[in-house]
Amino acid sequence: MVEFTLRRTRSRAKYPNRIREYRLRAGLSQKRLGELLGKGRCLVSLWERGRRLPSLPNVFRLAKTLGTLSEALYAALYSPKPGDDSADAKEE
């Protein structure tokens, strides 16, 4: 069995946050997206600003609501930006 763990760090800015892009493409406001997910507008705003990351169940709900693949949304949220080697930098 493979276990996945997420480290909580302050520097989440290295993860490109595409929720806003997907939300705007779907023509939804933060308030409406929050209503559809059963969450508040403030939580959607925190996700979009990278202050909080959605849980895996919420990633699936977001993907379904926004009309995208959950794998694509997950990768957009949890993958380092291309060319960002600071996360994998090794001390010499």
| Number of DSSP helices (H) and strands (E) in the chain, helices first | 5, 0
Within a domain: residue 85?
no
Within a domain: residue 18?
yes
The pLDDT assigned to 81 comes to 60
Within a domain: residue 67?
yes
Within a domain: residue 53?
yes
- How many distinct structural domains can be found in the chain? 1
CATH number, position 27? 1.10.260.40
Within a domain: residue 83?
no
Residue 59 has pLDDT above 80, yes or no: yes
Angle between helices 30-37 and 41-49 (to 10 degrees): 110
Residue 24 has pLDDT above 50, yes or no: yes
Identify the domain containing residue 53 by its residue range: 14-78
Task: Record the pTM.
Answer: 0.68
Within a domain: residue 41?
yes
